[in-house]
Amino acid sequence: MDKSVATGSALPFLPFARPTIDETMIEAISDTVRSLQLTSGPQVLAFERALSDYHGGRPVRVLTSATAGLELALVACGIGAGDEVILPSQTFFACANAIARTGATPVFVDVDLHTRNMSLAAAEAAITPRTKALMPTHFAGLPLPMDALYDLARHHQLRVIEDAALAIGTRWQGQRIGSFGDIVSFSFHPNKNMTTIEGGALVFSNPVEAAHVERLRFHGIRRLPDGTRDVEAGGAKYNMPDVHARLGLLQLARLDEFNARRHLLVARYFERLGHLPTDVLPPRGDEGHSWNMFAPLLPLQRLGRTRKHVMDELAARGIGSGISYEAIHLTSAYRHLAGGEGAFPNSERIARETLTLPLFPLMRLDQVDRVCDALLEILAA
């Protein structure tokens, strides 16, 4: 059934995210399938070279997902049982899960209420002798203060694994995230700024660690001079297929165009919603923000209604929305690590009030107006 019929809206359903895949990309995928080179091959190598060029020539390895990337980055850093990794509570569950799967302990800290990024003061206060790494998230594509982040890491001799799932194309003081720093993880899920259907990538500062992850992503296999194989360390099956990499090559070629379009759409959101309180709207950032999401906070106390009510009202008007994100420290798996509710008030408020509105490059300005008209009508009611 057409979603516009199901919701009672006369207009087509507007999702909160949608990938940009054109006929050229579909044909390129078809050509790759016809070549019968389906698993990792020349397209993966070409995609890794292109990503490396985009990030200043640094070593890149592509994977089946950004989650796989986070896990292998931790392994490459030698992090495991008995170690601690500090991360924000206001991020996607994959970050905590990757840490836990290595046997290390996720240590949650609060975030800045406005930027939604990890509080570096809270991170420093959480450092113990067992702390081995920081795993910050560039929330919605807005970068952390990178100088301060790496000053903190150097001072305490910590590794940094940047969760840049939402931030490919983001710049900090003119430099692309991933073109500097320690290890950076990107996501190519369909709701990210570019997609390979599913997939991710790690960008390294150390080519030795890149080579180590290359083996780990395919069972830990190393080929010997006589053509036989050896396994030096137990690996996994995280290698990207050529079909995905072919799409990634064409997506990367248009990434800056996609991000520029996101900036234009976000400018209209701010034009229409700029009168709302500053604790409701996300920070504008600057031209370096890649704007994966536009996620204001709902003034629920003033509204006297629930987020679910607002989301249902939007859906009744044919508009999709999402939640980005729940507070990880309140999930069943991790509640015992942080003391439950009240531990991180900013993360908890964001988790209660956040609402992800539609934002994707194929979206039109009149569709932004449609979302804003509906949201303002709901808030006014």
What's the mean pLDDT in 83-97? Answer: 98
Express as a percent the part of the chain with pLDDT over 90.
91
Which pTM was predicted?
A: 0.95
* Whether pLDDT at 5 is above 50: no
- Please report, for the chain, the start and end positions of each structural domain, with discontinuous segments joined by +: 3-19+255-380, 23-253
CATH code, 3-19+255-380: 3.90.1150.10
8: pLDDT confidence band, cut at 50, 70 and 90?
Answer: low
- Residue 342 has a pLDDT of 96
- Residue 301 has a pLDDT of 84
Catalytic residues: 192
Residue-wise pLDDT for 203-249, tens only, equals 999 999 999 999 999 999 999 999 999 998 889 999 999 999 999 99
Mean pLDDT, all residues of the chain: 95
Map the chain to HEC letters.
Answer: CCHHHHHCCCCCCECCCCCCCCHHHHHHHHHHHHHCCCCCCHHHHHHHHHHHHHCCCCCEEEECCHHHHHHHHHHHCCCCCCCEEEEECCCCHHHHHHHHHCCCEEEEECECCCCCCECHHHHHHHCCCCEEEECCECHHHCCCCHHHHHHHHHHCCCEEEEECCCCCCCEECCEECCCCCCEEEEECCCCCCCCCCCCEEEECCCHHHHHHHHHHCECCEEECCCCCEEECCCCCECCCCHHHHHHHHHHHHCHHHHHHHHHHHHHHHHHHHCCCCCCCCCCCCCCCCCCCCECCECCHHHHCCCHHHHHHHHHHCCECCECCCCCHHHCCCCHHHHCCCCCCHHHHHHHHHECEECCCCCCCHHHHHHHHHHHHHHHHC
CATH code, 23-253: 3.40.640.10
Residue-wise pLDDT for 50-59, tens only, equals 999 999 999 9
